[in-house]
Structures are given as C-alpha cells and as structure tokens.
Amino acid sequence: MLNVRALYKEYPNDQGESVKAAQDITFEIPEGKLFTLLGPSGCGKTTTLRSIAGLERPSGGEITVDGKVMYSSEQKVFVQPNRRDIGMVFQSYAICLI
C-alpha cells in the first residue's frame, strides 16, 4: 500500500520567494489497485510522482510504502531512490548523441 499524507513541495524563484509546486497532497493506494493523477499543467502531478520515487525531496509531509516510511519531514526520514524499490516511467524522454 502506498500512503501519501500532507505532501507539499516548494521551490525558490529567482527573487528567493517560495513557489508552491504541490500542496497538501493526500491519498492512499491499496496494493494491486490502479490510481491516476489527473490535472492541468503545473498542478504538481510530476512533482508528486518524483517525490514518491525519491527523485525530489519534498518540503513536508509523509510517504509510506507497505508501512515503511520513505519520507517524513516530521521524523526527518529520506530513503534514497535506489532503496525504495519503486520504478518510474517518464512521460517523455530525450537521448542526445553528439
């Protein structure tokens, strides 16, 4: 089971102000179920998926997989991507040959 609770991510802009990329994301996906993130461009779908995979470090919240904490701002836990046993397929890719 994947559990995401109160996840949020902020980035600094050029002026040093915080820009919210994802806010208060909470959902639970039971094992064996399909789940879709649907929304307009810029709403935080990719940021949420990258956070679950460990490619982004969220600003706050918690991510657990099968009861194991992968990320928790409260507990100060961040499991590296290679230790999460989670895969991610990118929407688009580019290969550059020089």
Interval 7-52: pLDDT, tens: 999 999 999 899 998 999 999 999 999 999 999 988 899 999 999 9
- At residue 96 the predicted structure's pLDDT band, cuts being 50, 70 and 90, is low
pTM: 0.86
Domains and CATH numbers, the chain: 2-83 (3.40.50.300)
So what's the pLDDT on residue 23?
93
Hey, what amino acid is at 43?
A: C
Main-chain dihedrals φ then ψ at residue 12, nearest 5 degrees: -80, 140
Please list, in sequence order, all residues whose beta carbon lies within 8 angstroms of the beta carbon of residue 54, skipping any fewer than 6 positions away.
70, 71, 78, 79, 80, 81, 84, 86
Contact 86, 65 (CB under 8 A): yes
- At residue 88 the predicted structure's pLDDT band, cuts being 50, 70 and 90, is confident
List, for residues 58-87, the tens digit of each pLDDT value. 999 999 999 999 999 999 999 999 999 888
